[in-house]
Structure 1
Amino acid sequence: MSLFKRSKTTAKGFDWAGLGWLFLFFWYFSGITQLLILLSDTSGFTGFRQAFVMSAVWLAPLLLFPARTRVLAALIGVVLWACSMASLGYFFIYQQEFSQSVIFIMFESNVSEAGEYLTQYFAWWMVAAFLAHTAVGYWLWTRLRPVYLPRGQAMVAAAVIVLAVAGYPLVKQTLRTGSFAGGLEKFENRIEPAVPWQMLVAYRRYGEQLENMQGMLHSASKIAPLRNLKDAMADQPATLVLVIGESTNRQRMSLYGYPRETTPELDKLKDQLSVFDNVITPRPYTIEALQQVLTFADEQNPDLYLSTPSLVSMMKQAGYKTFWITNQQTMTKRNTMLTTFSQQADEQVYLNNNRNQNAAQYDGDVIEPFNKALADSAPRKLIVVHLLGTHMSYQYRYPPTFNKFTDRQGVPAGVRDDQVPTYNSYDNAVLYNDFVVSSLIKDYAKTDPNGFLLYLSDHGEDVFDSAGHDTLGRNEGKPTAPMYTIPFMAWASPKWRESHDWNFAGDLSRPYSSSHLIHTWADLAGLSFDELDRSKSLVSDDFKARPLLIGDPYQTPRKALIDFSLMQPKAPTTAVVQK
């Protein structure tokens, strides 16, 4: 009973300063990292705001037990401090926010790899920063003092804090989503920026996504190999590269006739490239698109990805050592399928462990591991590079040095003034994507390989491109052409051209869906097997034009698939120049 010390002070004499010190102490361990994330433009304001709100929950036990203020604050503070050291250290090294992806990478790495990372990224200034962080936390603890309220008022205040910070949001999200599981997921998103919830939520989600991924991998391991696979290149060394972009609409690339010079480096390489100008994606979403692009599934047979080998599995069966380098988020509920594809490869490099997509993450990070994979001694290699590309929020996709487009020059008249910054940031993202893709091509060419590199985007993006549509991003329910028009191009080495027919001048405008990529890839790679359908190969003499189907194949017949040709993309200003 003595823990609940009654106060004889009036409301006028309430110790607001004491309460402020308590809040500042608890906020400090989450707030400093979130403040650094905000000030460095790594992410937006949401995480900072959520950490601020969640810090208030720790006031409840101190209001209930004021006589134990210093002890309780110390116990809670030690836990918060330990978690904050982990999240702060991770930010120091990677300029990213801690997430379940980090836990996945930690458990995927061995002791030797962990030691290499520590040696590579450790800097002595970090020790000083950690000591300063600890010293400030201790100093704040010395400033704490009990805040007394009459017992009844203390109970009411504590209950209000817990209900406002945790109870009400959880109930609200549960009602909004229609299920407790859905509500809990939304609530976890709310509390995740604050320690220690950051670690707890990350670990729980890691376990959940790991279980899902392992289930998918187990199912994939039972898929029968391709029948009667033959490789025309079986006795020759070869390095093949597949670069998968993200959210890039070819209509915003100068290589495809866009008036702004958004692809100057690829423009310089155009005489060396086979640029296909009539390729579309079947779905405007990454997971749904790649389930078809990387497998034998398509709009009419969407479930074939569950029962047939993937492109990576196909190349492994052909004797290639496979690499997967990705700048996509590693372990999220949406990206479990992508991680499953990557885990089918022999080696993986995961570069993006941010908690959310709205965070600064540059695709230039893929270049170093790409060159390392090129230098691998395996005679036959497949290297898949998955970019973050021009995914929104576009301002996070490029460094400041690529902030080239800043005014209305070159912006269509129909784009409102308030839309211009977003329109420009997308073009800047395309400009940086041009630098990354062209760098991959150049670095690949320097190795004098025997092989080819193919680049395509998973889907497009409508950034105020369609007249009559005030559209940003993608909406399959209200499709527009820019959501589906994707870049599709290939570069072949001189060695490969010597032994392969690489004259595709008559094929560049063929109507094609990337859902049939695996047939084109196998054809280019010199593979043959019973499941191969050369009429679905973009570069085959047996190619057969088909309706370019788009839409959700799992919808009811009332929302049937539609032919993309019914939606006319805007004509390019100039034609793409081909060799």
Structure 2
Amino acid sequence: MFILYTLIFIKLSFYLNYGARLNASTLYAVFETNERESLEYLSSYFNNQTNLLLATVLGCFCVVVFFARSLNVHYNYNKYFKWMSIGVIVLSGILLLNKFHYYNLIITGANSYQEYSEVKKLINSELSTPKSKNLVVDINRDEQTFVVIIGESTTKWHMGLYGYYRNTNPELAKLKEKLYIFNNVISPNVNTIVSLDKILTFSDFHNPNRGGNTSLVQMANMAGFETYWVSNQHVHGLNQSFAAEIAYASNYSYFLAMDHYHFSTSYDEVVLQKFENIINTKTKKKLIFLHLIGTHIRYSDRYPKSFNVFKSKEQELDKDVDMEKESIIDHYDNAVLYNDHIVSEVIKKISKQPTKSTVVYFSDHGDDVYDVNQNIFGHSEDNATPPMYEVPFLLWFSKQNPKRTKDSILRSYTNRKYNLEDFEHTFSDLLGVSHNLFEPSKSIVNDKFKEKNRLIKDGVDYDVYKAKK
């Protein structure tokens, strides 16, 4: 009975939060979720009164039935317990084996984990090594510092740079004249694992294992760069995280959310000191990945008290939402505000260096925080909305970078429609690395760029999908 109750609760809770079934892509994320993230998830979503009511009713019922049977209760109501028990079992069967909308959770979980394990073995053998046998790279002799900032769960819908009504980007706004703000960029997926698989490797929708799943870190290694990975995300969930496998191919990898931060909040400012130390080294060719925790759920844990600026009790929201939702929106916007501080600080620090440098910032995916679907916050592939796909994509070049001389040309590119699954080609273009897999038509900063259908889910054109939302 307890197992049946647990499975029912998991599936119904997920459906009530997202309006979608619990699927394989979601289970992939579970397999890489650590205990800290699990607790944050539970504390965020189980504030929902419907979930609490569901848990309480089903839980109490199961307990009552169990003890009634155990104590051999012989009241007239005992027959009702019997029939109610049968009802629960039937309901469980429907929820777990429903042929219309859902898949069996146990079978889906087992199959997903088997598939996940096979993918992990492939990743371990191919992506964790410094070089790739599938790539032929020309050595780049250009001295430079190249920085890739990978955000987390940050949608452009809540960024002041993209027209959000709150000033959530005050620091980046000060740098606006030196930024290239791309307006039509989407993430290929709304879950971190599958999204970063496409963004940080040569795989895409049509070619899930193109180039033997070669990563950007390996490309840079082979081009002669000293590579660094600085992360404020946990390395371990049930399994080592996908991003960590890519990180281990770098010359130096630092995971700052480990050990003493394991059960406490680690703000993204921890990456700044490490970043400053790296850019002050004497190495002349550096590639630095900064992997932020960004605006990941639980939003209230993503910023220090000094960034608790947006408070709906004092500032009216432009939408009719209840106080619980207002609070969640406030926390998310404060997290975006803090994220603005972190990204701008990276740019400010590197701008002081007398070297050619480039900064790229994007998020792995976004969250819908009651923007399109007024009943959910967060992200789910099955019930995905535009805010979950539409992410910020920013470029910054130092005054020593020749690309600054092409200002008007680059600004003419900022409205191009782009899917980050092709980021490896833009990355190659910006880095100045030539290799056998480079396609200029897939680089958003190349004059040979060609717009294409941006495919999501099972081959759906995103622009068609968005029009229906």
Change (3 A) 1:178 1:498: closer
Q: 1:564 corresponds to which letter in structure 2? A: Y
Q: 1:446 corresponds to which letter in structure 2? A: K
Q: Using the TM superposition, give the Cα deviation of residue 389 of structure 1 relative to its aligned residue in structure 2, in angstroms.
A: 0.3
- Where does the alignment leave 5 or more consecutive residues of structure 2 unmatched? 1-35, 44-91, 97-103
Change (3 A) 1:513 1:211: closer
The one-character-per-residue Cα deviations of 1:89-128 (angstroms, maximum 9, x if unpaired) are: xxxxxxxxxxxxxxxxxxxxxxxxxxxxxxxxxxxxxxxx
Q: Using the TM superposition, give the Cα deviation of residue 266 of structure 1 relative to its aligned residue in structure 2, in angstroms.
A: 0.4
Contact 2:397 2:403 in 1 (8 A): no
| SS class of match (1:328) | coil
Partner of 1:297: 203
Contact 2:202 2:209 in 1 (8 A): no
Indicate which of 221, 226, 248 corresponds to 2:135: 226
Given the two structures, how large is their TM-score scaled by the length of structure 2?
0.72
Partner of 1:478: 383
Q: 1:265 corresponds to which letter in structure 2? A: E
The one-character-per-residue Cα deviations of 1:40-89 (angstroms, maximum 9, x if unpaired) are: xx97998xxxxxxxxxxxxxxxxxxxxxxxxxxxxxxxxxxxxxxxxxxx
Contact 1:357 1:393 in 2 (8 A): no
Contact 1:259 1:410 in 2 (8 A): no
Change (3 A) 1:331 1:430: same
Partner of 2:296: 391
CA RMSD, Structure 1 to Structure 2 (Å)? 3.3
Q: Using the TM superposition, give the Cα deviation of residue 500 of structure 1 relative to its aligned residue in structure 2, in angstroms.
A: 6.5
Distance 1:312 1:260 in 2: 36
Distance 1:214 1:548 in 2: 29
Distance 1:333 1:500 in 2: 48
Partner of 1:332: 237
Distance 2:291 2:363 in 1: 9
1:217 has 2:124 as partner: yes
| SS class of match (2:400) | helix
1:367 has 2:272 as partner: yes
Indicate which of 547, 551, 561 corresponds to 2:459: 561
| SS class of match (2:394) | strand
Partner of 1:444: 350
1:497 has 2:425 as partner: no
Q: Using the TM superposition, give the Cα deviation of residue 428 of structure 1 relative to its aligned residue in structure 2, in angstroms.
A: 0.3
Partner of 1:178: 106
Aligned length: 367
Question: Which one has a bigger Cα radius of gyration?
Answer: 1
The 5 Å alignment of 1:414-563 reads 414-466=320-372, 468-497=373-402, 501-502=406-407, 503-551=409-457, 560-563=458-461
Change (3 A) 1:474 1:464: same
Distance 1:511 1:462 in 2: 21
| SS class of match (1:385) | strand
The one-character-per-residue Cα deviations of 1:139-163 (angstroms, maximum 9, x if unpaired) are: xxxxxxxxxxxxxxxxxxxxxxxxx
Distance 2:106 2:380 in 1: 23
Distance 2:266 2:159 in 1: 21
Contact 1:43 1:358 in 2 (8 A): no
Contact 1:451 1:496 in 2 (8 A): yes
Distance 1:544 1:178 in 2: 44
Q: 2:138 corresponds to which letter in structure 1? A: K
The 5 Å alignment of 1:64-83 reads none
Determine what percentage of the aligned residue pairs are the same residue.
Answer: 34
Q: 2:252 corresponds to which letter in structure 1? A: E
Distance 1:569 1:245 in 2: 26
Distance 1:407 1:479 in 2: 26
Partner of 2:217: 312
Change (3 A) 1:356 1:177: farther
The one-character-per-residue Cα deviations of 1:241-285 (angstroms, maximum 9, x if unpaired) are: 000000000110001111100010001100010110100001001
Distance 2:224 2:198 in 1: 23
Contact 2:350 2:357 in 1 (8 A): no
Change (3 A) 1:434 1:383: same
Q: 2:351 corresponds to which letter in structure 1? A: A
Change (3 A) 1:498 1:510: closer
Change (3 A) 1:402 1:545: same
Higher relative contact order (CA 8 A, sep 6+): 2
Distance 2:250 2:117 in 1: 17
1:276 has 2:182 as partner: yes
Change (3 A) 1:500 1:299: farther
Change (3 A) 1:460 1:496: same
Q: Using the TM superposition, give the Cα deviation of residue 426 of structure 1 relative to its aligned residue in structure 2, in angstroms.
A: 0.2
Q: Using the TM superposition, give the Cα deviation of residue 475 of structure 1 relative to its aligned residue in structure 2, in angstroms.
A: 1.2
Q: Using the TM superposition, give the Cα deviation of residue 348 of structure 1 relative to its aligned residue in structure 2, in angstroms.
A: 0.7
Q: Using the TM superposition, give the Cα deviation of residue 354 of structure 1 relative to its aligned residue in structure 2, in angstroms.
A: 7.0
Change (3 A) 1:500 1:405: same
- Where does the alignment leave 5 or more consecutive residues of structure 1 unmatched? 1-37, 47-171, 186-208, 552-559, 571-579
Distance 1:354 1:425 in 2: 26
Partner of 2:88: none
Q: Using the TM superposition, give the Cα deviation of residue 451 of structure 1 relative to its aligned residue in structure 2, in angstroms.
A: 1.9
Change (3 A) 1:355 1:247: farther
Q: 2:133 corresponds to which letter in structure 1? A: A
Q: 1:292 corresponds to which letter in structure 2? A: K
Given the two structures, how large is their TM-score scaled by the length of structure 1?
0.58
Change (3 A) 1:43 1:298: closer
The more displaced of 409-418 and 390-399 is 409-418
Q: 1:272 corresponds to which letter in structure 2? A: K
| SS class of match (1:363) | coil
Distance 2:316 2:263 in 1: 27
Distance 1:396 1:433 in 2: 12
Q: Using the TM superposition, give the Cα deviation of residue 396 of structure 1 relative to its aligned residue in structure 2, in angstroms.
A: 0.4
Give 4+ residue runs of structure 1 displaced > 6 Å after superposition.
Answer: 42-46, 209-215, 354-358
Change (3 A) 1:45 1:507: closer
Distance 2:456 2:240 in 1: 22
| SS class of match (1:527) | coil
